[in-house]
Amino acid sequence: MVNNTLNVTVRDLKMVGDVLGKAVGAGANSINGVIFSVSDTAALEAEARDKAMADAKARAEQLARAAGVTLDQPMSINEYTAGPIPYEVKAAPALGVGGGETVPVSTGQIQVNLQVTVTYIIK
């Protein structure tokens, strides 16, 4: 018994189904799934960070107004992130499928989640 595992990176989403079809046509008899991910998360994390900080400040200002105080500078800032969560598509085993045709693949969304906790000094 021989087992050979191959990981393939496809950057053009329109080609994923064609690549899977060609893999089956070339003799692949077990496809464990397709995982969509983001190769460079830095720009997405920076955007999420800016949005999280703006949201934290807006919420803190609203709370400060309700309490009759004003905000000063942040006393502490903490960031929590888990990075993007890959979106996985389970593919049925390719045994007996024949092969060569394009395999239908449904895409989804990948979310970059980032949370900040900001403690402000109040006046």
The model's pTM:
0.63
Residue/partner pairs of 11-17 with CB below 8 Å, 24 or more apart:
11/39, 13/107, 16/105, 17/102, 17/103, 17/104, 17/105
Residues facing 74 on adjacent strands: 120
Q: Dihedral (C-alpha) 50, 55, 57, 60: value to the nearest 10 degrees? A: -160
> pLDDT at position 95, please?
42
Could you tell me if 30 and 90 are in contact, meaning their C-beta atoms sit under 8 angstroms apart? no
CATH of the domain at 100: 3.30.110
> pLDDT at position 14, please?
83
Task: Judge whether 86 lies within some domain.
Answer: yes
> pLDDT at position 88, please?
53
**Domain range for 98:** 13-122
Could you tell me if 117 and 78 are in contact, meaning their C-beta atoms sit under 8 angstroms apart? yes
Report how many domains make up the chain.
1
Task: Judge whether 7 lies within some domain.
Answer: no
Could you tell me if 120 and 71 are in contact, meaning their C-beta atoms sit under 8 angstroms apart? yes
Task: Judge whether 8 lies within some domain.
Answer: no
Task: Judge whether 2 lies within some domain.
Answer: no
> pLDDT at position 96, please?
46
Task: Judge whether 41 lies within some domain.
Answer: yes
Residues of the chain with confidence (pLDDT) below 70: 83-101, 107
> pLDDT at position 39, please?
81
